[in-house]
Amino acid sequence: MEALLIALGLALAFYIAWCIGTNDAANPTNTTVGAGALTLNKAILIFGLFAFIGAIVQGWMVIKTFGRGITEIKSIVDAVTASAATATWITFASYNGLPISTTQTSVGSVMGVGLASLIAGKGGSINVSVLIKIFLSWITSPLGAIFLAALFYRSFEHAATSLARGGWDVDRIFRAVLIGALAYSAYSFGANDVGNATGVYLSVISIGGISSMTSGIWTSMMLAAIGALGILIGGFTLGRRVIKTIAFGITRLDYITGSAAGLANALVIWLFTTVPAMMWGWGMPVSTTHASVSAVLGVGLAKYGIRGINWRTFIKILISWFLTVPIAALLSIAIRWLVMFIGGS
């Protein structure tokens, strides 16, 4: 029985990781691809490597937020329900090239499980204080990304002018900066988003009473490896659709704007992962998509102004963000009620 539970938990974690890769691989890679610094395949490979490192080093900070923070996952059915709802919405969005928040999807799905049990009178509950902190982070992280991206762009533009006067190859320098920003952004992504994929594993194993498989360095490394592999495969399959939307659909990117957007995205995600963990013991699962898209928007506004933004594409993305949490929660509730109706559990 223990072996079956472990296999189920790992399978679900890998499936969610694949879904995340189909959508969120765009977040660290879009600037390098959009600016023409790397081919899409090379960008995804670098992304996969550094996301794996970030997942191993800091991924534990956010994993426990999903495993135990939002609501209590009481049964294997609850864990499978949240996973199915998450996977359904992410797959739909990725197929249509929509850069939604996989973090929002995971939070909405887990919240839906708690609401379904609460409405059915089965003792469900929602940790409102955790949700408030998460919701606030979804407002502050995009604003922070826009501000930092514009600030970095102005700084990089000034530096580029000085370097050019000194005879330096500005393009070569900022291409290197852009690739470095990709690596840092991928690391931050791995540290923050691995919790979306592997939190379900911890829930399944904990429910099954297999305490030895929920902690320790080897467990963390195993989960990080599974999460990184699933995300990498997802990036190489459906991930291209979303990467192209952000890389080419919002504004024109070059080495300098790409470097500014990539660095702003990476810094925002890393700060929200690390600082809250130091303050109250668990990292904040912010949306890497919100930060990434907002950073690209920030450099577009800083360089080109309002007319330099494809507002039709951005508004389409914005609407998908507002719909993500309620859709994921409703999917979770519908799946859970269907299971209750069929099995009476």
- For residue range 179-209, what is the model confidence (pLDDT) as tens digits? 999 998 888 888 777 666 776 676 677 666 6
In contact, 182 and 34? CB cutoff 8 Å: no
Give the mean model confidence (pLDDT) for residues 198-225. Answer: 67
Structure tokens at 48: 């996969």
pTM, entire model = 0.84
Residue carrying structure tokens 């950073």: 295
Phi and psi at residue 215, in whole multiples of 5°?
A: -150, 170
Supply the pLDDT for residue 211. Answer: 60
Distance CA 293, CA 210 (A): 40
Q: What percent of the chain has pLDDT over 90?
A: 35
pLDDT, averaged across the chain: 83
The pLDDT of residue 67 is 46
With both helix axes pointing from N to C terminus, report the angle between 239-249 and 40-58 in degrees, rounded to the nearest 10: 100
